[in-house]
Amino acid sequence: MASEFNLLLFKSSFCAFSIFESFPIQLDKHGFGGQEFLSNQLKKIMDIKDLISNRDIELEVDGGINYNTSKQVIKAGANVLVSGSTIFGSKNYNEAISKLRGND
């Protein structure tokens, strides 16, 4: 219900978003790293991507981003990924970032 309300609020305010360069979406419960990815948020990413359409606005996602979920959110329309635990928990930051981008 809250997600539907947020999307409605976003749709009704979208004309104001033309001044923004990015739109962040929190995919887990805000507060600490290493939380589980909430897959029910993929629809939110797709809906917002549709609203952004061809505008020059980055769609940023944060929360539960790892090697598997990064592929899902990129496919849904996100083009900026925030991943703390996956990167900082790896031995090679560059390799982890490359894998998150889908460059296996």
CA distance 44 to 47: 5
At 84 the pLDDT is 87
Q: What are the tens digits of pLDDT across the range 57-90?
A: 889 888 888 999 999 999 999 999 989 889 999 9
- Domain coverage including residue 78: 2-100
pLDDT at 92 over 90: yes
At 3 the pLDDT is 56
- Total domains in the chain come to 1
At 78 the pLDDT is 92
Q: Which has more pLDDT, 5 or 42?
A: 42
At 6 the pLDDT is 60
Q: What is the domain-level CATH number for residue 11? A: 3.20.20.70
How many helices and strands in the chain, by DSSP H and E? Answer: 5, 3
Query: What 8-state DSSP symbol labels residue 56?
Result: S
Q: What are the tens digits of pLDDT across the range 19-56?
A: 667 777 777 666 666 667 777 889 989 998 988 877 88
Say which residues have a Cβ less than 8 Å from residue 79's Cβ, sequence separation at least 6.
Answer: 58, 59, 60
